[in-house]
Amino acid sequence: MSSPSKRREMDLMKLMMSDYKVEMINDGMQEFYVEFNGPKESSYQGGVWKIRVELPDAYPYKSPSIGFVNKIYHPNVDELSGSVCLDVINQTWSPMFGKPSILFPSTHVTICQMLQSSYN
């Protein structure tokens, strides 16, 4: 298995090569913003949403912190802090998931899927 820093690099590269706008915070690879369009056929369609992702030193063995930068109303998003509250991030995280699994609509529970349903 590769080292945590190599895994972080690989996951970040995949994310940057995707359709999402990725903006690094500072010089490191541990904090960045991801911007994406609201999912079609949802209350969030037409919106542009920005999340802040913070990777712990122990990533991928420890889950990232993910929170919305812009104000959003959803049962799985803390109204004051913007923190995303999903089991896959907070409780059932596995190194198998990685950032692309959280953000890419085709895999597991994603931010976009969360926004399409208010019953998560």
Rounded Cα distance between 110 and 102, Å, is 5
85 is catalytic: yes
Catalytic residue among 10, 22, 29, 85: 85
CB of 42 within 8 A of CB of 116? Answer: yes
Within 10 Å of residue 93's Cβ, how many Cβ atoms?
18
Strands 48-54 and 65-68: antiparallel
Strands 65-68 and 21-24: unpaired
Active site residues: 85
